[in-house]
Amino acid sequence: MKILFFLIIISSISFSQEKIMSWRLYYEYENFREPEITHRRVKHNLIESLIKNYAKNPLFTVRELGKSYEGRSIYLMKAGTGKIKVFLWAQMHGDEPTANAALFDIFRLLTQPGEFSALRDTILNNLSLYFIPMLNPDGAERYIRETALGIDMNRDAVQLVTPEAYILMNTFKELRPDFGFNLHDQSIRHAAGFTPRQATISFLAPPFDYIKTMSKNRMRAVQVISQLTDILHQFIPGHIGKYSDDYEPRAFGDTFQGLGASTILVESGGWPDDPEKQSIRKINFITLLSAFSSIATGSYNKYSSAEYDNLPFNKRMLYNIILRNVKLNGAVTDIGIDHEEVNYDNARTFYYRGVVKKTGKLNENIGITEYDLSGYEVKPGKVYDATAENIEAIDKRKLWSEGYLTVKTGNKEILARKFMKTGFNFTGSSALKQTPVNTDSEANFVLVRNGKVDYIILNGFFINLKSDSGDLPNTLILQ
Ligand SMILES: [Zn+2]
């Protein structure tokens, strides 16, 4: 054991400074997490109040750049006095907030660095950092991708129809940054290559023409990504992907790369059991601080394009669940199920809608969770008529084992809702006798062998009747 420890010490000497530091950031992260941001659906009023507090801090210069279509202020925050200009913009897509949260964790480190004061000084003496947090506040308010005009800002880099895109382009042209960080979220169902591993972080040094010319500034972006890949493989091994490198002239990353800034796309994807993406937020914190250190010290120059070239491309092929080899309507098949998020309460929160996305042999797909159910037959979930009964008194496990997943009720308070946190879906419809198992229908069915229900799929969630607690995030009110 002692020898092993000794070997680890020896091998760590060959680690780059950023690699050692990344572990310290990993262990000390909780000291810097912005406590006001606790989940993804944070709105502009909170972000604005945090920014206004930083405006009082001499470390930051804060300027209002303009307003969103609906009049929400968009700010530029500057820290550092260095020669190298680094520009970061977050949440241009309103439902992509992970990196935005990490920026506020970084602001805490910059203002109260604790044991990281040397890192802070290296960064702020060598770099001038420019941040635009929450570039699309109207989209964030609704938790949607587009702006209030219904336009995808990342296809508006040429026409500049949206005020937010205009602000971004104007700011870029004023700053003429050396490096740019384009901070997004991607689907949690992207895999890092053909693997079951979610692409937790995907990078790209976007091309600026159709033949993907490797200019000097683009090469610098590639080298920084190579180093970041080397660092992040310590924390999320096998979970790093490369975003599609098709040239998109209407996108900002591609455009800024063409205008001479070494531009890096960072996409936050999925991580197992992290629906609010708080561990990916931490990975963003480590990623961006490592990048700042790398650019400040020039340590990326020790890297080639090798790590970047070896990154597997994202593959859009994951389902939340795949059931393998089940019998459906007489044929043996696979079923792909997703847990879709539906915004709720003015997009302050959400509930899940479990959906049958695809049936057939899904050999080109992988489930984040998979079950081999050879020998099992799919039967639609039945509707139990409880209009004359006390719903609280229903024994859910007994009804599940009889194939009932939905309860018919006359309770108006329940039927006015969208979802419930109980063991059944609810309906008021007399016509609904069982729930269909079709593509794009809600996933509510049972799995039967030898006449016995062993497993159920309730609002897309898998429950083993023998061993699972049967708790699930929510069920639905079905029409
Ligand atoms: Zn995006």
258 CA distance to ligand 1 centroid (A)?
19
Can you list the domains of the chain with their CATH numbers? Answer: 18-314 (3.40.630.10), 318-478 (2.30.40.10)
Instruction: Tell me how crowded residue 364 is: count the other CB atoms within 10 A of its CB.
Output: 8
Distance CA 122, CA 296 (A): 7
Q: 185 CA to middle of ligand 1, Å? A: 6
Distance 136 CA to ligand 1 centre (A): 11
CA distances from 202 to 73, 132, 181, 243, 315 (A): 30, 21, 13, 6, 11
Asked whether the whole model's pTM tops 0.75, one would answer yes
pLDDT-derived band at 12 (thresholds 50, 70, 90) equals: very low
Q: How far is the CA of 277 from the centre of ligand 1 (A)?
A: 15
Amino acid identity, position 321: I
Average pLDDT over residues 110-136: 98
Residues 6+ apart with CB under 8 A from 423: 396, 400, 458, 470, 475
Average pLDDT on 109-115 reads: 97
Give the closest residue to 248 by CA, choosing from 149, 163, 169, 158: 158
Centre of ligand 1 to C-alpha 202, Å, is: 12
Is the torsion defined by CA of 449, 451, 452, 457 positive or negative? positive
Nearest CA among 92, 62, 70 for reference residue 169: 92
Q: How far is the CA of 140 from the centre of ligand 1 (A)?
A: 12
Choose the weakest-confidence range: 226-230, 270-274, 390-394, 412-416: 390-394
Mean pLDDT computed over 177-205: 97
**Average pLDDT of the chain to the nearest whole number:** 95
Distance 165 CA to ligand 1 centre (A): 13
- Would you tell me the crossing angle of helices 278-297 and 216-232 to the nearest 10 degrees? 130
Compute, in degrees rounded to 10, the torsion defined by CA atoms 209, 212, 216, 217: 60
**What whole-number distance in Å separates Cα of residue 291 and Cα of residue 298?**
10
How many angstroms separate the Cα of 316 from the Cα of each of 154, 195, 196, 313, 460?
Answer: 20, 11, 11, 10, 20
DSSP label of 434:
B
SS3 call for 255: helix
pLDDT digits (tens, 9 = 90+) for 286-342: 999 999 999 999 999 999 999 999 999 999 999 999 999 999 999 999 999 999 999
Instruction: Examine the pLDDT at 15 and tell me if it is beyond 80.
Output: no
Amino acid of residue 234: Q
Question: Is residue 472 over pLDDT 50?
Answer: yes
Angle among Cα 347, 351, 356 to the nearest 5 degrees reads 125
CA 130 – CA 89 distance, rounded (Å): 8
Residue 56 alpha carbon to ligand 1 centre in Å: 31
- Taking only the tens place, the pLDDT of each residue in 192-236 is 999 999 999 999 999 999 999 999 999 999 999 999 999 999 999
- 3-class secondary structure, 58: coil
Nearest-10 Cα torsion for 270, 272, 277, 283: -80
Question: What is the model's pLDDT at position 392?
Answer: 83
Q: What is the mean pLDDT of residues 64-74?
A: 98
Q: Ligand 1 centre and the CA of 331: distance in Å? A: 40
**Is pLDDT at 14 greater than 70 in this prediction?**
no
